[in-house]
Amino acid sequence: MPLAKESRLSKKSIPTCERLIFALDTPDIDEAKRLVGLLGDAVHFYKLGLELFMAGGYFELLDWLNERDKKSFIDLKFFDVPQTVASAVRQLKGKKADFVTVHGNNAILEAACKEKNGLKILAVTVLTSLDDADMRDLGFQVDAKELVLSRARRALEIGCDGVISSGLEAEDLRDQLGEQFLIVVPGIRPVANVDDQKRTVDVEEAFQRGADYIVVGRPIKNASDPAKAARDIQARMDRVFES
């Protein structure tokens, strides 16, 4: 039974400045550090993904960010047999990361949750680079929204702390599953979308639909002034949460 509709704007005690997560997608650790230095106080939370992991020095960078009081989101989408995923999450103990992404069935998510040790486990629902046509090509008999809701419901019942979801599904997630979990929305496009992300929303829409955090990468990284682009997004978030 869907919950009664109210304001979907997040009421969690998260500093507004930390609701922006910058996707530190670069194949070079030195370039990653340069970007962090360039962004300065405009960004407080960083997502470290697979490309950066393959560059080497991933955990050294995690320590480096911790030393600068930055928050970290390990976005490696752990997906393997449950025992291996449990071991991978266990390896993060003491690394002071905040979030980690896990993908897969109930057994995989359960294994991750048993080893979280203060980490917040975020279940991947459907990648924002996929749309309904892709779902059909992959053999799914439901659309992206139905699959997101199904996977999110199971993940929360298992004990995950939240989900990764397109902003297009955030509204239904809030209406049907409530407030007591995190929604992290990637693929934010402050202007018209011209890249490989298909299910996108802008900054204001993401939060109005129920997001707790947004992940922004290329619109900041590729801007002529990345720090200004990040500050502009911070200002837009301030207006949303002050209204």
Q: Catalytic amino acids? A: 77
Q: CB pairs under 8 A, 24+ apart, for 188-193? A: 188/214, 188/215, 188/216, 188/219, 189/219, 190/216, 190/219, 190/229, 190/232, 190/233, 190/236, 191/219
CB 128 within 8 A of CB 169: no
CB 240 within 8 A of CB 208: yes
Single-letter code of the amino acid located at 105: N
Single-letter code of the amino acid located at 78: F
Q: From 164, 218, 211, 202, select the one nearest 19 (Cα to Cα).
A: 211
The tokens of 238 are what? 């301030």
Q: Is 184 helix (H, G, I), strand (E, B) or coil?
A: strand
Strands 45-48 and 120-124: unpaired
The tokens of 86 are what? 């449990």
- What distance in Å separates the CA atoms of residue 86 and residue 13, rounded to the nearest whole number? 29
